[in-house]
């Protein structure tokens, strides 16, 4: 499912016409210090306009990633080129993964190795569900020849041999990370495997990312009037075109527009960003959500900044 890129605003329905016609750019965070950078809004399918799931929360000088789908480091480099200096690839060093589905983790070796080859000197700190440690160990083993070659007496990276290392932290619900910029709280979600959403508290914003999930009370409780809720979604019309096996899967483990509208009415985010979305078209998704939800929402697109 491929959508052309444009942003949609819903403060006033009239704006839809302007957005569709003019490719209106999203509003940025203005004076607020915390930025959300959508590095990848896509699904498992290889849509060149929508990279694999990855979101950056940028606070002061530090970027925190949620998920690392395919293309994550190149999208970070593109954001850096757009002026977000915190997303310079060698600065990528903390990430949280919602679950271990491949569309959210195929960029893991990219995140481990690409920044190292261009100069990252410190290990990665990665947080996620059980299985993360094994995935990490297997990836490092899979790239053993590369690591040995780069760190031997002849190797390009022998001067900073720590930059490909990973400290993998398997988490349970609750506060999983805290530093001077952020407190990150994980909450259980409902997907096909152990899965988490994340709540970021920064000095000026509260941000919740759902990951892949059926609607859950935990997501509502994590938001409760939060500044930004980033949530997955698909339309009923899209789902009706899919094979029955996927329809059954989605009914248990993903979220429809009617379900998200109801969830958002209870969670009351100041801004709802649709992410990891599917519809018959971007226009169909926008119209469907607009008919069901009167709050402020946007359809995310890669490299949007909020
Ligand atoms: Zn998934
Ligand atoms: Zn997914």
Give residue-wise pLDDT tens across range 237-274.
Answer: 999 999 999 999 999 999 999 999 999 999 999 999 99
Whole-prediction pTM value?
A: 0.90
Indicate the pLDDT class of residue 32, thresholds 50, 70 and 90: low
Q: Is 221 helix (H, G, I), strand (E, B) or coil?
A: helix
Residues 183-210 have a mean pLDDT of: 98
> In this model, does residue 47 exceed pLDDT 90?
yes
Residue 89 CA to ligand 1 center (angstroms) comes to 25
Q: What is the pLDDT of residues 204-213, one digit of tens each?
A: 999 999 999 9
Q: Which of 3-7, 188-192, 203-207, 275-279 is the least confident region?
A: 3-7
User: pLDDT tens, 117-161?
Assistant: 999 999 999 999 999 999 999 999 999 999 999 999 999 999 999
pLDDT at 15: 37
Q: Residue 172 — φ and ψ, nearest 5°?
A: -130, 165
Residues less than 5 Å from ion ligand 2, measured at CB: 103, 212
Q: From the CA of 100, which ligand is nearest?
A: 1
- Phi-psi region for residue 227, left (φ > 0), alpha (ψ -120 to 50) or beta? alpha
For residues 84-97, give the mean pLDDT. Answer: 98
pLDDT (mean) for 224-238: 98
d(CA 106, CA 72): 9
Please give the share of the chain, as a percent, with pLDDT higher than 90: 89
Task: Tell me which residue has tokens 């759902």.
Answer: 210
**274 Cα to the center of ligand 2, angstroms:** 13
CA of 26 to the centre of ligand 2 (A): 24
2 pLDDT tier (thresholds 50, 70, 90): very low
Nearest to 185 by CA among 213, 134, 223, 212: 223
pLDDT of 3 reads 46
Taking the CA of 253 as reference, the closest ligand is: 1
In the predicted structure, residue 30 carries a pLDDT above the cut 70: no
Mean pLDDT for the chain overall: 92
What is the pLDDT confidence band of residue 91, given thresholds at 50, 70 and 90? very high
Neighbours of ion ligand 1 (CB under 5 A): 101, 212
The pLDDT, as a whole number, for residue 124 is 98
For residue 156, what are the CA distances in angstroms to 50, 139, 275?
A: 33, 20, 38
Sheet of 62-66, strands arranged across: 35-40, 54-59, 62-66, 94-96, 124-128, 166-170
């Amino acid at each position: 499912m491929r959508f052309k890129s444009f942003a949609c605003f819903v403060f006033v329905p009239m704006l839809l016409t302007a957005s569709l016609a003019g490719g209106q750019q999203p509003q940025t965070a203005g004076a607020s210090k915390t930025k959300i950078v959508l590095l990848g809004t896509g699904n498992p399918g290889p849509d060149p306009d929508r990279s694999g799931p990855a979101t950056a929360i940028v606070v002061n000088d530090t970027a925190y990633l949620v998920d690392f789908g395919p293309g994550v480091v190149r999208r970070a480099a593109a954001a850096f080129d757009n002026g977000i200096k915190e997303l310079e690839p060698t600065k990528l060093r903390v990430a949280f993964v919602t679950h271990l589905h491949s569309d959210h983790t195929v960029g893991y070796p990219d995140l481990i190795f690409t920044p190292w080859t261009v100069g990252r000197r410190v290990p990665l700190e990665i947080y996620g569900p059980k299985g993360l440690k094994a995935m990490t160990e297997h990836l490092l083993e899979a790239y053993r020849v590369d690591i040995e070659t780069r760190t031997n007496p002849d190797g390009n990276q022998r001067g900073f041999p720590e930059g490909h290392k990973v400290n993998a932290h398997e988490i349970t619900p609750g506060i999983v990370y805290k530093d001077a910029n952020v407190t990150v709280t994980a909450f259980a979600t409902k997907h096909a495997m152990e899965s988490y959403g994340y709540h970021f508290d920064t000095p000026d914003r509260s941000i919740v990312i759902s990951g892949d999930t059926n609607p859950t009370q935990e997501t509502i409780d994590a938001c409760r009037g939060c500044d930004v809720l980033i949530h997955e979604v698909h339309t009923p019309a899209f789902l009706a075109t899919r094979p029955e096996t996927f329809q059954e899967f989605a009914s248990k483990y993903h979220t429809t527009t009617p379900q998200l509208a109801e969830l958002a009415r209870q969670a009351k985010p100041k801004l709802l960003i649709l992410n990891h979305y599917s519809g018959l078209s971007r226009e169909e998704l926008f119209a469907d959500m607009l008919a069901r939800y009167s709050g402020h929402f946007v359809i995310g697109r890669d490299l949007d900044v909020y």
